[in-house]
Amino acid sequence: MILGIDTSTGTAVAVVEPDGVVVAEASSENPLGHAEVIGDLLQQVLAHARPDAPLGAPGAGAPATSATPLTAVAAGMGPGPFTGLRVGIAAARAFALGRGIRLVPVVSHDAVALGTLLQAAIVDADPGRFAVVTDARRREVAYTVYEGLDDDGLPIRVTEPALVRRDEADARLAELDAVRHDAASVPAGMVALVAARALAAGREVGPADALYLRSPDVTVSAGPKKVGV
């Protein structure tokens, strides 16, 4: 099973089997307070993912132990704001290190795109070319354009994640001939499923570093300021 963690929008965690069955998931849509809730959410899903205690059975919800057969941790790498995104990435890295299992980086927009494409397949619809759009704060949005699934069942990126001013987004997407799909949250179950499909195909689909897309506000000091007398 794979543990998925994403804090690019709200805070979301899930445990998913390789075939996409969600064993347990929990989330908070609050775009702030990631550090305050992620520990409780992780404890909740890991407790419900115990292999010897199905949901609703006696023992389900008991403290999670190392017996939970996790084989990898999928980390949503953004795009997203610096403050929130780093919380989930740090948690995923720490958990993978503590369990001695693999960390699989995933582009957060890929998870939204996969969910969109799977939902379309259920109703036998073709979403065509579309853009996953998430809030990037400061009157900007982040977007990535997709079109279909590849042979490994992974979303095909037409563009890489990028930033655009909110009032210019529709014009940019029109230039790219992409239908806008705004996402208020990133499902951790889909983050884990992207990772599962990437592992099955022997591919790396996410970056090693976070997709902040914006330089940090803090810069290296140019030296002490001169003070006049």
Mean pLDDT within 120-124: 95
Cα angle 39, 45, 47; round to 5: 100
Find residue 132's DSSP bridge partners.
Answer: 144, 181
Is residue 140 within 8 A of residue 177, CB to CB? The reply is: no
Assign 28 to helix, strand or coil.
Answer: strand
Looking at the chain, the whole-number percentage of residues with pLDDT higher than 70 is: 85
Domains parsed from the chain with CATH numbers: 2-201 (3.30.420.40)
Flag whether pLDDT at 151 surpasses 80. yes
Show the tokens assigned to 23. Answer: 């064993």
pLDDT tens for each residue of 77-97: 999 988 889 999 999 999 999
pLDDT at residue 226 in the model: 62
pLDDT tens for each residue of 155-180: 999 999 999 999 999 999 999 999 99
pLDDT tens for each residue of 16-71: 998 889 999 999 987 778 889 999 999 999 998 865 444 343 334 444 444 558 99
Mean pLDDT of the chain: 88
